[in-house]
């Protein structure tokens, strides 16, 4: 007898962890639309519009700005496996778990992997990265903009120029930071950049926006080996080694996303609808406004936590605006607090990985959830839960401090209208 | 100034091609639910239920029955890259384009690829496959159950036993056939099987159900190299070569889908909701009823096409029930007919690839679209469009013949009630 279980009916949650977060309802509505055939002109039109929208999100003119059908990690692997030829030297500056991930993927691609590590909770100075580039002379430098595991954000404005100076390609993983921070891909000389929907873009995990420039295009096309059975007459294989993955082969994906529409996978229609809507929502608000909204929530949250008597983690000058680490007070069990927050308030906050597991909580203020009410609700719930567990916290001062930050930032007329 | 485009609003289409097809509205509704954190007990509960549901869909007791976050092709690559060690001999019996795809992926995994080919429009006898296995002694045999490019379905009941006899692992790609045909994974001795939602399961492309048995588990675990940064204390790397992909590493994915919940990607929440609902809908109707519904639609469609004066493609004794090839009459332009069908009736039918491009159309009767009304509507529209293009077709005989097939199959009381 078939066991069918009940229909999908998730308990209401306020997801204030390091992502995923609650999807913007407009994204879910867009995703409820009926499907289209992958070569239907209406659908290829949506594909082209999605490319145009993400060019604006990435602040780039790159022709090759499209989606990888998988989670953010799929976008990372697509760029790395298409770019890295076995034996290439790849430099990975590591300042958290997602640096290790890129070193790991580079290793699986057959790279000679070189790493430099910053203590968790800190980032690199441009000089330290330049020294490493000068020393190991990598073909590719791969790093995160923001590594949620430590909540740190690496300043990138100077890294592109350093890489050009030593003729290295720069790949930036912006999964956790995209639209939560400024990231002008072209202005900063970033050659390849990948993202995900489930953080500040306010959508579900499952499709990865990427952009690559002409330097990457050249490197990839020399490895192009179109699969037999769909190879057009006159398609000459590249002289470079075949890319080890078919699914993540950017050369073939370019033919799928161009007017050639050479069949590859079947585009994930519903996820594309979602990705397109995420970008529309962000661009409608305006990139600078979205970035400012995240910065303001960060300031308010940090002020609130400090006023409550808690200690934020790491170098606050380089904290990601959309996620904040907090030292777990010694007198409480961090996991018990997280469980009570979820069960009593429906609020999810995160823990961390590796050396920080059980040592810090992580509170996200991202995308659709990055709003005053959620900062205040979360501070109140955390304070009450800590008190219930016997921790020493101030009473009410957390929300007051957070609210004060918001009041300062709000234009007086808007405040008057709202009151 | 940001160019935002309009909201998603796809033109209404009846998708009667080789997939994707229209999603069941219940699937889209399930996918419109709000997200959950990936380690929220409510979400891990949905993950476990999804595993249980797909065990029933695949007719297997395999513990490792879960989802790969990508399109059907991602499921194929995950099994192949996790299983194939460089230098392994992989036998791919090819009877269409998707056989070439598996040979291609095996090659990228570093396999010594051996192929046997059946003429497009035919399949293999078990003897021919046994002869090839005996000759090349592969470690792995990889083939399609149904190859939509030719509309042919390979009988598989005896292939598992052949592979066991020569100690080869059998991998079956059931993307295009799952629940459109019977596929008892355990009873037929299939070691690994992968699928997609966008054909007979009635969902969107973007997530791939897979199942692997204990033989595959052993082969994969000997290659397990958990990534640094999340590697638990005491995790001993396997003695086999590291899997070339991180994203498709089944050994790490098993830790994510087990009670260990070791972080890997962020599960594609919305696509999981969809996959879960697809399985519930199929199991509620009942697998045998779903398979019978596809067989009936196939019989009706073929009868209708023949009565109209058209010639079905290939060996009809081995045609997939959910997709039917038709020789394009010499006097018409196949693409012009497809365009008119789409623009005048909103009906999509397919063409094919490689040697069959422009020679056949393909009409799908799959999943949610596999219903009497769609068979009849499509036959009517095709007849009228062919007539408009000057082709010689009978008038009205196509739908009459299709309807007669349905009338014979419908129980008399139901017929009376409906009339």
Interval A37-60: pLDDT, tens: 999 999 999 999 999 999 999 999
Residues of chain A with C-beta less than 8 angstroms from the C-beta of B113: none
Cβ neighbours of A40 in B, within 8 Å: 13, 342, 348
The DSSP bridge partners found for residue A326 are A312, A361
Q: How far is A236 from chain B (nearest CA, A)?
A: 17
User: How many Å apart are CA B417 and CA A368, to the nearest integer?
Assistant: 51
**Phi, psi (deg, nearest 5) at residue A254:** -60, -40
Cβ of B265 within 8 Å of Cβ of A205? The answer is: yes
**pLDDT of the residue at A1:** 59
Rg (CA), chain A: 22
Contact at CB, B70 and A247, closer than 8 angstroms: yes
Q: What is the pLDDT of residue B410?
A: 82
Residue B408: which of B400, A236, B148 has the closest Cα? B400
Residues B294, B365 contacting (CB under 8 angstroms): yes
Q: How many CA atoms lie within 13 A of A113 on its CB side?
A: 20
Chain-chain contact of A72 with B274 (C-beta, under 8 angstroms): no
Which of B4, B38, B74 is facing A280, going by the closest CB pair? B4
DSSP state of B341: I
Q: Give the separation between CA A256 and CA A267, rounded to whole angstroms.
A: 9
| Cβ A282 vs Cβ A26: under 8 Å | no
User: Which residues in chain B are contacts of A77 at CB distance < 8 A?
Assistant: 245-247
Closest CA of chain B from A109, distance in Å: 7
Shortest Cα–Cα distance, B416 to chain A (Å): 31
Give which of B300, B69, B60, B65 is closest to B160, Cα–Cα. Answer: B60
Rounded CA-CA distance B284/B60 in Å is 17
Q: What per-residue string of b and e applies to A205-219 under the rule 16 or more CB within 10 Å gives b?
A: bbbbbbbbbebbbeb
Q: What's the mean pLDDT in B337-348?
A: 98
* CB contacts, 8 Å: A273 with chain B: 8
**Angle of helix A97-108 relative to helix A72-83, nearest 10 degrees?**
40
Backbone angles phi, psi at B75, to 5 degrees: -65, -40
Answer yes or no: do A205 and B69 touch at CB < 8 A. yes
Q: Which residues of chain A have pLDDT under 50?
A: none
DSSP annotation of B317 reads G
Q: Which residue has the higher pLDDT, B353 or B224?
A: B224
| CB atoms B22 and A35 under 8 Å | yes
**Tokens matching residue A375:** 């900062």
Q: Do A40 and B229 touch (CB under 8 A)?
A: no
Q: What is the pLDDT of residue A347?
A: 98
Query: What is the per-residue pLDDT for B233?
Result: 80
A368 vs chain B: nearest CA distance in angstroms?
A: 12
The secondary structure of residue B155, as a DSSP letter, is -
Which of B101, B247, B283 is closest, CB to CB, to A74? B247
Q: Which two tokens stand for residue B82?
A: 């996790």
Confidence bin at B411 (pLDDT 50/70/90): confident
Look at B4 and A53 and tell me if their CB atoms are within 8 Å. Answer: yes
Residue B67: strand pairing partners: B209
* Interval B209-218: pLDDT, tens: 999 999 999 9
The pLDDT score that the predictor gives to residue B63 is 98
Q: Please answer yes or no on whether A8 and B33 come within 8 Å at the CB atom.
A: yes
In terms of Cβ atoms closer than 10 Å to its own Cβ (0-12, 13-18, 19+), residue A392 is exposed
Nearest to B164, CA basis, from B145, B187, B183, B190: B190
Give the gap in angstroms from C-alpha B419 to the nearest C-alpha of chain A: 31
Question: Where do the H-state alpha helices sit in B159-286?
Answer: 159-165, 214-221, 250-257, 269-285
Q: Cα-Cα-Cα-Cα dihedral of B316, B319, B324, B329, to 10°? A: -40
As a whole number, the mean pLDDT across chain B is: 96
CB A309 within 8 A of CB A84: no
User: CA nearest A338 in B: which residue?
Assistant: B40
Q: State how beta strands A169-173 and A140-144 pair.
A: parallel
The closest of B355, B409, B350, B354 to B382, measured between CA atoms, is: B350
Name the pLDDT band for B133 (thresholds 50, 70, 90).
very high
- pTM of the shown model: 0.97
- Cβ neighbours of A103 in B, within 8 Å: 228
**Helical pair B287-308 and B372-388, crossing angle rounded to 10 deg:** 20
Strand pairing partners for B347? B14
B219 touches B206 (CB < 8 A)? no
Q: What is the DSSP letter of B133?
A: H
- Beta pairing class for A347-348 and A14-15: parallel
pLDDT range class, residue B62, cuts 50, 70, 90: very high
CA dihedral (A276, A279, A284, A290) in degrees, to 10, reads 160
Cβ–Cβ < 8 Å for A296, A79? no
Cα B203 off chain centre by: 11
Backbone angles phi, psi at B173, to 5 degrees: -90, 110
What chain A holds in terms of domains, given with CATH numbers, is 24-283 (3.40.640.10), 287-418 (3.90.1150.10)
The Cα A146–Cα A314 span in angstroms is 13
Give A406's Cβ-side CA count (13 Å radius). Answer: 22
pLDDT value of position B417: 55
Is A20 in contact with B266 (Cβ distance < 8 A)?
Answer: yes
Q: Which two tokens stand for residue B267?
A: 């599960």
Q: Say if residues B322 and B364 touch (Cβ distance below 8 Å).
A: yes
- Encode chain A in three state secondary structure: CCCCCCCCCCCCCEECCCCCCCCCHHHHHHHCCCCCCCCCHHHHHHHHHHHHHHHHHHCCCCCEEEEECCCHHHHHHHHHHHHCCCCCEEEEEECCHHHHHHHHHHHHCCCEEEEEECCECECCCHHHHHHHHHHHCCCEEEEECEECCCCEECCCCCHHHHHHHCCCEEEEECCCCECCECCCCCCCCCCEEECCCCCCCCCCCCCEEEEECHHHHHHHHCCCCCCCCCCCCCCCCCCCCCCCCCCCCHHHHHHHHCCCCCCCCCCCHHHHHHHHHHHHHHHHHCHHHHHHHHHHHHHHHHHHHHHHCCCECCCHHHECCCEEEEECCCCCCHHHHHHHHHHHHCEECECCCHHHCCCEEEEECCHHHCCHHHHHHHHHHHHHHHHHCCCCCCCCHHHHHHHHHHHHHCCHHHHHHHC
Interatomic CA distance for residues B293 and B322, integer angstroms? 10
Under a CB-based contact definition with an 8 Å cutoff, are residues B395 and B40 in contact?
no
């Amino acid at each position: 007898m078939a066991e069918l279980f009940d229909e999908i009916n998730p308990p209401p949650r306020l997801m204030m962890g390091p992502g995923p977060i609650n999807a913007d309802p407009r994204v879910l509505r867009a995703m409820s639309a009926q499907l289209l055939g992958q070569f239907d002109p209406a659908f290829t039109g949506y594909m082209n519009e999605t490319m145009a929208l993400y060019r604006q999100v990435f602040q780039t003119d790159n022709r090759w700005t499209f989606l990888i059908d998988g989670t953010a990690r799929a976008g990372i692997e697509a760029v790395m496996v298409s770019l890295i030829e076995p034996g290439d030297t790849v430099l990975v500056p590591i300042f958290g778990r997602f640096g290790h991930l890129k070193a790991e993927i580079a290793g699986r691609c057959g790279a000679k992997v070189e790493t430099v590590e910053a203590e968790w909770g800190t980032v690199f100075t441009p000089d330290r990265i330049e020294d490493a580039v000068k020393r190991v002379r990598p073909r590719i430098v791969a790093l995160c903009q923001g590594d949620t595991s430590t909540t740190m954000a690496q300043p990138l404005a100077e890294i592109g120029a350093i890489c050009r100076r030593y003729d290295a390609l720069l790949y930036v993983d912006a999964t956790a930071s995209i639209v939560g921070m400024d990231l002008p891909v072209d202005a900063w000389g970033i050659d390849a950049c990948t993202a995900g929907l489930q953080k500040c873009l306010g959508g579900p995990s499952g499709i990865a926006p990427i952009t690559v420039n002409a330097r990457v295009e050249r490197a990839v096309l020399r490895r192009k080996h179109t699969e037999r059975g769909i190879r057009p007459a006159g398609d000459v294989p590249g002289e470079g080694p075949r890319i080890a993955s078919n699914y993540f082969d950017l050369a073939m994906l370019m033919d799928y996303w161009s007017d050639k529409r050479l069949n590859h996978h079947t585009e994930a229609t519903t996820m594309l609808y979602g990705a397109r809507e995420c970008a529309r929502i962000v661009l409608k608000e305006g990139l600078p406004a979205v970035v400012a909204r995240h910065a303001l929530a960060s300031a308010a949250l940090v002020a609130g936590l400090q006023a409550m008597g808690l200690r934020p983690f790491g170098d606050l000058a380089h904290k990601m605006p959309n996620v904040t680490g907090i030292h777990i007070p010694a007198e409480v069990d961090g996991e018990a607090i997280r469980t009570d927050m979820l069960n009593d308030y429906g609020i999810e906050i995160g823990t961390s990985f590796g050396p920080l597991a059980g040592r810090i909580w992580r509170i996200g203020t991202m995308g659709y959830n990055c709003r005053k009410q959620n900062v205040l609700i979360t501070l109140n719930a955390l304070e009450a839960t800590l008190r219930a567990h016997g921790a020493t916290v101030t009473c009410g001062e957390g929300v007051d401090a957070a609210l004060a930050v918001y009041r300062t930032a709000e234009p007086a007329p808007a405040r008057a209208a709202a009151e």
